[in-house]
Structure 1
């Protein structure tokens, strides 16, 4: 037996339950992972609220990302063995493979070897935001990359993806502050994280310049 996070009705965080369930057995093409770290994104809260576009199947689990070691391997799986350290790439539906549990099944196509340069916590929190960034910036070279929702978790990965793709490493961020003004911030590229003022979700890089003007209403 192991613990898993599940819900039996849609609603707020209060509908989540930590339940004891039997350890699942991997079917062909699947791996059983004994987790150490789990990823938490907006995508985990939306199904619980009934707002994800895929109806939950009750009792429903949640979670797209997890990391630690393989406990057992299903038939036909190659390239992985018991005891291998791995993380999970979100390329499936949570109704099929919920990750928020102590022992979880994952399709082999969504499992990757764990990098020795990352902690399990870092590995379990990286894939969703970098895939989001890559999916939104998979195009040719441009003079400007606009980061909308700049305080969201995918903003820093987007800066990296655009820089690797050959974009100008100096980023321009435009956001509306709580003071009702539109602010423009300029940053040097190649930093781990960035932020200023209302951009509280990410912090670190030097602000090169800042300007502000009253927000203009359209129409």
Structure 2
């Protein structure tokens, strides 16, 4: 499995915000979100192949970090993630899988962190739009989403760019019969100023709909850089 980076930090998003966590970030993605904040795992994927034993040694070397986050890119693209999560379960680690919800794998998982991609993610103009059609076709898989929210403890984390995104979010959440408190709205942005600007109106939308507001704590604390 191609790995972009392994690092320890706090979880910056979602229900476990603030929890010290070890992140294993795979490189490779079936989508090309226009606002992707980890282009080194999608638009220009980089990293090195690592065997399961090497990954587990990184986990064993950080015994304080019981929470392990598998992220990307898209970790569910890789069959090796099934063996990796089984090994992490045997080590009594808490496992979060961060996924766009477009691919199914029978993984071990304590929290399935699903980030369905909205229309605002499609790269119509980036790189001449050459990825737009495939991204638009793949970004929303209701069959996969339904299975994930049925079989795992979950959170639905949406990246929001404007108030008009809420209509699409409501439709997806309703179709999945999602509990409002498990629907998290996160402002799109990679700077503190942009996050604060969008948070001002996004918080109000969360209050009106019973959804959770999801800050990007790692960006607010450390800025937009790798390994945080």
Q: Greater relative contact order: 1 or 2 (C-alpha under 8 angstroms, separation 6 or more)?
A: 2
TM-score in same-fold range (> 0.5): no
Which structure has the highest strand share of the two? 1
Larger Rg: 1
